Structure 1
Amino acid sequence: MDIRRDNLQGPEIAALLQAHLDEMHRHSPPESVHALDLDALRAPDITFWTVWDEGVLLGCGALRELDPQHGEIKSMRTDERYRRRGVATVMLDHIIEEAKKRGYTRLSLETGTPAAFDAARLLYASRGFTLCPPFGDYREDPYSVCMTLEL
């Protein structure tokens, strides 16, 4: 697997991110969907990566700088055809290492509470993320949970 910094211009990533948004809206009400679209992911405080294997897009993930010590994971997604092959683990480990290189002392994320998000919460917990109160602009929400990792 090859991880590349991505400029969010290719049709493959547009399709993957649209699938991500569509799935978020299937499992959560609109006010509880915090996934970002292509334009929002192009913000200067966000670094976006894609995972490829022999020219095939497998997944993606992003890191947003909240402040000089705190980063947020955004847009973690594996194409449904390649799930349970370690794509998300590779991306998550990459983002954690990048956060450490940047000198962050904390890395946080928001994900859903419905059963469709069970695998994501288990993956984050396997890397040491624990439940935390809402951070940044997040608020208490029955469809949402926040997790954090002290680095």
Structure 2
Amino acid sequence: MRFEIREDDLSGPEIQALLREHLAGMQADTPPESVHALPLEALRQPGITLWSAWRGDRLCGCGALKTLAPLHGELKSMRTHGAFLRQGVGQAVLDHILAQARARGLLRLSLETGTAPSFAAAHALYRRNGFLPCEPFADYRPDPHSLFMSRLL
């Protein structure tokens, strides 16, 4: 199934609700000191672009790219709306972000995700797309509740 991927200015009620759901989900599955999901205001900072995936007028999911260094980016805020799980939303958003990262000249894309069983689908998606476990990057520190992954572009 096809999705329309749009750069999102974060002003719409649908994306704001999905990002609140994302943050709440991270907080429900992870101790507070290990939650690295960004709140809405932080996603508006320079160096972060968020895209949303749509089917018609229905928001299906989102994902963001944060520039860490001239050649290194971080995948942030990947979330699929519950009504669209297992329909390829995550793959579509990830494909778009990978293409955008390459177009921006990035050579590496990294991510941090949780280790709880609820993150298993995310781990599988990232592994299928060439992400491998790595050491903490940027300002992250070792954390038993975090899985760090990275891939070359």
TM-score w.r.t. the length of structure 2 is: 0.97
- Secondary structure at 2:91 match in 1: helix
Q: Show the counterpart of 2:32.
A: 30
| Structure 1 stretches of 4+ moved >4 Å | none
Which residue, 121, 124, 139 being the options, matches 1:122?
124
- Is 1:76 aligned with 2:78? yes
Which residue, 92, 97, 100 being the options, matches 1:98?
100
- Secondary structure at 2:78 match in 1: strand
Matched residues in 1 for 2:32 and 2:151: separation?
27
TM-superposed CA distance for 1:144, in Å, is 0.4
TM-superposed CA distance for 1:91, in Å, is 0.2
Q: Show the counterpart of 1:43.
A: 45
Which residue, 40, 61, 64 being the options, matches 1:62?
64
- Secondary structure at 2:22 match in 1: helix
Q: C-alpha deviations, 1:47-68, integer Å up to 9, x for none?
A: 1100000110000000000011
RMSD over equivalenced CA pairs, Å = 0.5
- Is 1:18 aligned with 2:17? no
The one-letter code sitting in structure 2 at the alignment partner of 1:26 is A
TM-superposed CA distance for 1:40, in Å, is 0.1
Matched residues in 2 for 1:115 and 1:139: separation?
21
Structure 1 residue runs of 5 or longer lacking an equivalent are: none
Matched residues in 1 for 2:21 and 2:49: separation?
20
- Is 1:134 aligned with 2:136? yes
The one-letter code sitting in structure 2 at the alignment partner of 1:8 is L
Identity of aligned residues (%): 55
Structure 2 residue runs of 5 or longer lacking an equivalent are: none
- Is 1:143 aligned with 2:151? no
TM-superposed CA distance for 1:81, in Å, is 1.2
Matched residues in 2 for 1:45 and 1:102: separation?
12
The one-letter code sitting in structure 2 at the alignment partner of 1:121 is H
